[in-house]
Structure 1
Amino acid sequence: MLLSLAVRVQAQVGGQRGFPFLELPTSAKQAALGGINVTAAGHDVNMVAANPALLNEEMDGQISLSYVGYLADIKQSHAVYAFNSEKLGRWAASINYLSYGDFVERDATGMELGTFNVNDYTLALTHSREMEAFTIGATAKMAVSSIAGNQAVGLLADAGAVFKHPEKDLTVGLAFKNVGYLVKPFDSGKRQEMPWDAQLGISYKPVHMPVRLSLTAHRLYQFDIVYLDPNAQGQLDENGNEVKEEKTLGDKIARHFVVGTEFVFSKNFQLRAGYNHLRRKELRLDGNSGGAGFSLGAMVRVRSFELNYGSAFFHPSGATHYITIATNTNTFLKKKSS
C-alpha cells in the first residue's frame, strides 16, 4: 500500500504496524546522522522529534521548517516552535505532514470516477524539565492517516531522558517512541500495533577535536530483526550455485546500531555523516548496495538564519534530499524592543 511505502523501503521489519510514517526522519540533521539519534541536540529544535528530553534552553524561541521529497509525488513537511514560560516551563509544538499525491479513482469495471488523495499528519506537544545534569521530556501526539476521506486515528506518546556530563561534551540519551493506541482504524480495517521503539544512544566530542561522534541502538525490544526473503531461497547465482541466506550473530547485532558524525568547524558551519546498517541491508539490490544506508549533511548559519541540508540514501539508485531552515524569534523581538 502506498500509505506505508516510504517506510517499508526503509525496513522490512516495520511493515506490519500502523502509522509507519512516524519512523521517518523529520529534519535534515536527523536524516544526515543516519535517521535515528537520541543525543545530538545542540540548539536544533527539530531533534525534539527524536527525543523529547533534548528540548533545552538553547531552543527557546526557535522556529523551524523542513521539507523533503520522496519517491514520485510523496512529500513531507515539518514545522516546530519552542518556547519557555516562567509559569508553565519549556514546551515545543509541531506538525508533521506527508502527502502522497492524487490518485485516479475507478469502479469495479475500471471506469474512471475522479481522483482522491492520500495523506498522513501528526500534531505534537512536547514538555521537558531539567534536573541538574539530567533532563526528562515527554511528547503527546495525535496521528491521522487518510485515504480518500477514510481516516485512521491514533493517540501516541514519546518519553525520554538525557544525561549531560557537567564537564565533558558527553551526552547519554534514552527514548521510548510512539507508544500508543489506535483509537479509530480504517473502515473495515484491522486494529494494528503502533510503531513503538526503544532507543539508547551516546554522543561524545573529544576536547581538542572538532568531531562529535554518536552511536545509537534501536529496536531494543527484539534482538533478531534480520529479514530473509523466502522467495530468494532456491534461486541460483551467476555461477549456478544455490543462494542460501543465513543469519549471523554479527549481522543481528549490527542492524541495531546507527552511527552519526558531526564535524564542528565553527558555530556557523558543520558537516555531518551517518550510517544505518539496517537500512543498508534491507534496501540493497542483488549484487549492488550502492550508497544505501549512508547519509550526508551540512549546516550553514548566516546572521539570524540557519540552513541545514541532509541527503539520505534510501535506495542504491539515489538519495533523498532534506532542507531545514530555522531562526530564533527572540532575536527579532529584541531588535524591535530596542
Structure 2
Amino acid sequence: MGIKKGFLFVLLHLGLALAADAQVGGQRGFTFLELPANAKAAALGGYTVSSYSHDVNMVAANPALLNEQMDRQLSLSYVGYLADINQSNLAYAFNHEKRGRWAVGLNYLNYGDFVQRDATGLEEGTFSVNDYTLSLSHARQSEAFTVGATAKLAVSSMAGNKAVGLLADVGGMFRHPEQDLTVGLVFKNVGYQVKAFDGGERAPMPFDVQLGASFKPEHMPVRLSLTAHHLYQFDIVYLDPDAPGRLDADGNEIKEKATAGDKIARHFAVGTEFIFSNNFQLRAGYNHLRRKELRLENASGGAGFSIGAMLRIRTFELNYSSAFIHPSGAGHYITISTDTGTLFRRSN
C-alpha cells in the first residue's frame, strides 16, 4: 500500500471509529490541548493546519507540517493569560540520517496557587494546579504529499492528584509543486485517559478533525489561511438554557436560537499574513467560535480577533501576538526561535 493510500485509509477509519464518541467542550478532559501555545498560531485564529514554513511550532497544529526548513530550529514560547495563568512551550526539530525527521515538544500550563481550606473553611495552606504535555513527532514526504504523526503524554495535576492521558495526532499535507498553495488535514487528540483523578471517572479526549488551506497569490505579499474545525459534528453551538430571552410584543419570552449560518461559521477560523520581507511580517486572525462563546450578553469587545508580528534579527526570530479571549482582556504570546546550527557556528 503506497504512502498516500495508506494515509487516507488510516484517516478514514480513525474518523469513522471516533466521530460517534466525540463531544464538544465542557464534557472532555485535557482541554488545554486545544489552546494555541505559540505566537504564530494564536495570531492566525488559533488553527493553522496548513501553514507551511520554517516555524517548528507548526508541528503542534499538524505533524505533517514538519519539513526540512525546521531542522535544528529551537523555539521557546511564553503565554500570559488573564490573572496569573501562564503557559510555556518548547519545540525542537532535527533530521536523523537513518531514521528521518523528528520533532520534540514540551508544553506547560500553570494556573497559579490556590488557598486550601478544610471542611469548616479554615485555611490549611496553598496548592497548585497545572497541566503539561510531552510530545514526539515524525513525518515522511512522498513528492507533494507528507504524512506525520505525534505521540503525546498529557498530565493534569491538582493538589498532587494527577490524571494521565496517552494521545496522538495523525495528519497529512499536500503542497502544490508550482503554486504557493498548501492543504492540510489532521485528526487531533486521538487517545485514552489511562488514569483519572482519584475518585473521578475517565473523561473522553478533546478529539477534533481539522481541514485547512493556505494560499499566497504570486504577486501579492499576502498569505491567506482558512481552517475548518470540529468537522465530526455539524452543530457545535451551546446556548445557556438558563439565559433570559427577549420579550415579544405580548410579553412572551423568546429564547435565542442559532441560525444555520451561525452553525456553519462557528466551524471556521481565518488568518492573514502580510509578508513585507523575510525579516518582517504582520498577522491577523478571526475565530468565530471563540467570539460567540466568550462574549458577554451585551458586549463582545474584541473577542475572537487576534493580531501579531514577526521580526527577525540575525539568527533570532521574535514573534508576538495578542489574542482577544474575552471583552475583559487578551492572551499575550511571545515566541523566540533560532537555528541552533547557525548559532553554534557563529559562536565558534
- Say whether the fold is shared (TM-score over 0.5): yes
Mapped pair 1:142 → 2:188: no
- The residue identity in structure 2 corresponding to 1:213 is L
2:75 and 2:251 mapped to 1: Cα distance? Answer: 54
Q: Which residue of 1 aligns with 2:206?
A: 195
Residue 235 of structure 1 and its aligned partner are, at CA, apart by 5.5
Q: Which residue of 2 aligns with 1:49?
A: 60
1:307 and 1:119 mapped to 2: Cα distance? Answer: 26
Residue 236 of structure 1 and its aligned partner are, at CA, apart by 5.1
Residue 317 of structure 1 and its aligned partner are, at CA, apart by 2.0
Q: Point out where structure 2 has 5 or more consecutive residues left out of the alignment.
A: 1-22
2:152 and 2:116 mapped to 1: Cα distance? Answer: 31
CA contact 1:176–1:199 (8 Å) conserved in 2 = yes
Q: Percent of aligned positions with the same letter in both sequences? A: 74
* Count of residues paired in the alignment: 325
- The residue identity in structure 2 corresponding to 1:329 is T
Residue 279 of structure 1 and its aligned partner are, at CA, apart by 0.5
Residue 69 of structure 1 and its aligned partner are, at CA, apart by 1.1
- The residue identity in structure 2 corresponding to 1:256 is H
Q: Which residue of 2 aligns with 1:83?
A: 94
Residue 90 of structure 1 and its aligned partner are, at CA, apart by 0.4
What is the aligned counterpart of 2:284 among 267, 273, 279? 273
1:323 and 1:244 mapped to 2: Cα distance? Answer: 41
1:301 and 1:242 mapped to 2: Cα distance? Answer: 56
Q: Which residue of 2 aligns with 1:112?
A: 123
Cα deviation, 1:282-317, whole Å, max 9, x if unaligned, reads: 111122111110000000000000000011010012
Q: Provide closer, same or farther for how the CA distance between residues 293 and 241 of structure 1 changes in structure 2, counting only shifts above 3 A.
A: farther
Instruction: Give the TM-score of the pair, scaled to structure 2.
Output: 0.91
Cα RMSD (Å) of the superposition? 1.6
Q: Which residue of 1 aligns with 2:301?
A: 290
1:102 and 1:233 mapped to 2: Cα distance? Answer: 35
2:179 and 2:340 mapped to 1: Cα distance? Answer: 30
Q: Which residue of 2 aligns with 1:153?
A: 164
Q: Point out where structure 1 has 5 or more consecutive residues left out of the alignment.
A: 1-11
Q: Which residue of 2 aligns with 1:5?
A: none
Residue 126 of structure 1 and its aligned partner are, at CA, apart by 0.4
Q: Provide closer, same or farther for how the CA distance between residues 297 and 46 of structure 1 changes in structure 2, counting only shifts above 3 A.
A: same
Mapped pair 1:319 → 2:322: no
SS in 1 for 2:242: helix
Which structure 2 residues correspond to residues 31-42 of structure 1 after superposition, within 5 A?
31-42=42-53
SS in 2 for 1:231: coil
Which shows bigger deviation, 54-63 or 282-291?
Answer: 282-291
What is the aligned counterpart of 1:15 among 18, 21, 26? 26
Instruction: Give the TM-score of the pair, scaled to structure 1.
Output: 0.93
CA contact 1:13–1:227 (8 Å) conserved in 2 = no
Residue 326 of structure 1 and its aligned partner are, at CA, apart by 0.3
Which shows bigger deviation, 283-292 or 74-83?
Answer: 283-292
Q: Which residue of 1 aligns with 2:109?
A: 98
- The residue identity in structure 2 corresponding to 1:79 is L
Mapped pair 1:129 → 2:140: yes
